[in-house]
Amino acid sequence: MIDNDIVLEALGVICNAKITSVQQKQGEVGIGSGLLEAFKNLFFTAPATQLPVTQLISTVVDGDQTCSVSQSSLMRIDGHVSSELPGNIGIKGFPANKHVSKFEIEERNGRRFIINEEEFFDPRFHYDFTGMKDTDTFYRGDEEYWRPYGWQRFAIKVLDKYDGNEWLGTAGYRTRSVSGEWPVSYHGTSYDSACGIIKGRFKPGHHGVYGRGVYSTPDIEVALKYCKDFKSKKNGKTYKVILQNRINPSYREKHHNDKYWLVPINKEEEEEKMVARAIRPYGLLLKEF
């Protein structure tokens, strides 16, 4: 599996922040380097805030709204949808077939978080989908589940962190849904109707009206078009990163032939409560490119 330090880099990319862990801090060796790091943190760096599992999607939403790569991804979704409409309407500067550029953490924004890896990740459910290809069709939450073939999943420790565990279904290899579980989606992208998938462009009865909220997709190949990538400081290799989520079907809207799922958020003050009960990340997916 991919090195833990690279997983933390990926988590930082998806959150548009600098992420460190208690374990990393404990692993720092050499009193000289330790004093230098402490001096830098004291005088030049804002203190890191603890990042609980239950706040991950809210942190991603907040980070997306200030990240230029996220905004270009959202415009690209708009361009992708628009390209299938009469006249092939596009977004100037963001052609639909152009992939997201390499992403570097915007540390200058001052977003810094710290996690305890033992409390944040659950290695029991890590899974390497690299080289896998199933012949079965899988369902989760009564929706077809496209397993993330070619990716490595680092499970987020979500058991007993919310109101019960029914939304996760049961562990183990199974092709059918179980009662009470939520369907799977990928990525989880925030969006304000003023700068992305255009609210009002589509007339009622055409493709529906897109709005402000948290976007994701049930198809990982669709998510791949809009995901972030980064060059690791650890080994110089390039990785792509995607969140694997469960979506509460009671709060989900389907758009564009079921390619995009939207959890609407009508008011900014409702954001944190809504995302907590409607979209829950349970895996961080990484793939080397």
Each residue's pLDDT tens digit, 173-228:
999 999 999 999 998 565 443 233 333 333 333 333 456 778 889 999 988 888 88
Q: Cβ distance 156 to 121 under 8 Å?
A: yes
Q: What tokens does 243 get?
A: 């969140």
Listed residue (258, 210, 227, 236) closest to 70, CA to CA: 227
Q: What tokens does 196 get?
A: 């992305």
Q: What does the H/E/C string look like for 230-280?
A: EECCCCCCEEEEEEEEEECCCCCEEECCCCEEEEECCCHHHHHHHHHHHEE
By DSSP bridging, strand 152-155 and strand 184-191 are unpaired
Each residue's pLDDT tens digit, 72-104:
444 544 555 444 433 333 333 334 444 444 555
Alpha-carbon span 236 to 222, nearest angstrom: 26
User: Cα–chain-centroid distance for residue 3?
Assistant: 19
3-class SS of residue 114: strand
pTM, two decimals, is: 0.80
Give the number of other CB atoms < 10 A from CB of residue 213: 26
